[in-house]
Amino acid sequence: MAKKDAAQILSIDGREVRISNPDKPYFSRDVKLSKLDVVKYYLSVADGAVAGARDRPNMLKRFVDGAENPPFYQKRAPDNRPEWLRTVTLSFPSGRTAEEVVVDDSAGLAWIINLGCIELHPHAVRTNDLDHPDELRIDLDPGPGVGWEDVRRVAMETKSLLEEMGLRGWPKTSGSRGMHVNARIEQRWTFTEVRRAALALSREIERRVPALATSKWWKEERHGVFLDYNQNAKDRTTCSAYSIRPLADARVSAPLEWAEVPDCVPEDFTVLTIPKRFAEIGDRHALMNDAAGSLEKLLELAARDEAAGLADAPWPPHFRKMEGEPSRVAPSRAKSTAKKGATKTAGKSVAKKKAATKPRSKMPLIVVANSADKDAALAGLERWKARHGEAASHLAVDDVLVDSMRGRSSTWTRIRVNLRNVPDEVRPPAETPDPDDDPTRAWREARAKAASDRLRKSP
């Protein structure tokens, strides 16, 4: 048998799962792990990993060339799947639908790991009701230079607020630099309502610890730990419990008890340590399904915010303009003064209130690097700093914005520099990014040309 065709058949709960290229390296830096090693890790924590994904549609994030190479996203279940693997048809904000994989057991788990899915990405709904989430997801995302101690402090503040709202939070490390706090909720509210509750929670945490937390969507306006309310919008997923993250040490998104949060450090939870922890203490989130709560108090908080004049916040870019949503334009592109008169919202003309909206300041951002390879983009940033040493000396930690940009099926890294702290006389002009590899550019240019051609041909 040719080496490229070598495979190993695993018998899992009476089902056979074929692991292709089992010796293929998936991690080769701090730890050395093959594809089969990754499958075996997931089987060692299967009860916990399956619990986070069971009975849910799963988006497939496939690292087919290992964790050190870019992944691609696949919503639709592969055609050559086993007969016993369940699927469910999910609809998206675009109006499109996709038949997505449902992981119900250890065999299904091993099968999607064989596809290169080192992370698990279940949606926040169950297959019995795809329109009403059963989980509120709070994603604590630290900005550049923000320490882990601040993440833990914001997590504990989140715990307190959830309890005031009648909800129980279940914390876990994100497996990277942040933390997730999930709360099981009754299946009574739509995605829009759950997101509205998450936004109210984010804003309240920001009010309570303004030096530590932010609810601001635009990166150039953030500081500290960002509470990403938009993770509760339809079609958004986050990595679930026990997921391996594509870091050199094969770090894991680890479920915790609240008593562990004040002293935990994310690098303690890896593929090498979690199986022993799981064997000794089991799944810290095993009772989560027994703690479904109500969003009523959070929605009351949202109503109070709105009555006080707080409008909706920006939605993810692939959503249509939502009713009540403010201008979906980053401050760096905002006009210097607010327009007077009526504004249009969701196709309706809405008169502005007498209290004028405070104009947003235009941020002086420039793009310095675009690349599918994050390391190459970071190297481009260092070259920019070397060329513009005086300007670079004025940059604060959060003036460098490293964005993971998601295209239709792949990601790339965009690096921008905010020159707000750089004196005008030493601000460098915008240059062609170095490197300048934006994989969506050709698609965007083709779409713009097609739109232009249609306008030209129209009578």
What DSSP assignment string belongs to 43-105?
Answer: HHTHHHHHHHHBTSEEEEEE-TT-TTS--EEE-SPPTT--TT-EEEEEE-TTS-EEEEEEB-S
| pLDDT (0 to 100) of residue 339 | 44
- CA of 420: how far to CAs of 142, 365, 413, in Å? 21, 8, 22
| Rounded Cα–Cα distance for residues 412 and 405 (Å) | 5
| Rounded Cα–Cα distance for residues 281 and 224 (Å) | 33
Q: How many domains does the chain have?
A: 1
| pLDDT (0 to 100) of residue 356 | 40
- Whether residue 456 lies inside any domain: the answer is no
The predicted model scores a pTM of 0.79
Contact (Cβ atoms closer than 8 angstroms) between residue 172 and residue 179: yes
Local structure of residue 431 (DSSP, 8 states): -
- Nearest to 136, CA basis, from 299, 1, 314: 299
Burial of 426 (0-12, 13-18, 19+ CB in 10 A): middle
- Going by C-beta distance under 8 Å and a sequence separation of 6 or more, which residues neighbour residue 202? 138, 213, 215, 227, 228, 229
- Going by C-beta distance under 8 Å and a sequence separation of 6 or more, which residues neighbour residue 102? 55, 56, 57, 58, 85, 86, 87, 88, 108, 127
| Rounded Cα–Cα distance for residues 88 and 316 (Å) | 24
Place of tokens 């990405």: 121
- CA of 430: how far to CAs of 53, 110, 367, in Å? 45, 48, 7
| pLDDT (0 to 100) of residue 444 | 65
Contact (Cβ atoms closer than 8 angstroms) between residue 35 and residue 22: yes
Instruction: Copy the structure tokens of residue 111.
Output: 């099968």
- Going by C-beta distance under 8 Å and a sequence separation of 6 or more, which residues neighbour residue 98? 75, 76, 77, 89, 90, 92
- Whether residue 283 lies inside any domain: the answer is no
- Nearest to 65, CA basis, from 123, 109, 24: 24
Residue stretches of the chain with pLDDT short of 70: 1-5, 334-362, 406-410, 442-444, 447, 451, 457-459
- Whether residue 441 lies inside any domain: the answer is yes
Contact (Cβ atoms closer than 8 angstroms) between residue 76 and residue 67: no
- Whether residue 392 lies inside any domain: the answer is yes
- Whether residue 384 lies inside any domain: the answer is yes
- Whether residue 390 lies inside any domain: the answer is yes
Range of the domain at 376: 365-446
- 173 forms beta bridges with 179
Output the CA angle 25-31-36, nearest 5 degrees: 40
- Whether residue 408 lies inside any domain: the answer is yes
Contact (Cβ atoms closer than 8 angstroms) between residue 168 and residue 174: no
| pLDDT (0 to 100) of residue 99 | 96
- Nearest to 46, CA basis, from 131, 113, 133: 113
Contact (Cβ atoms closer than 8 angstroms) between residue 85 and residue 99: no
| Rounded Cα–Cα distance for residues 116 and 245 (Å) | 12
- Whether residue 388 lies inside any domain: the answer is yes
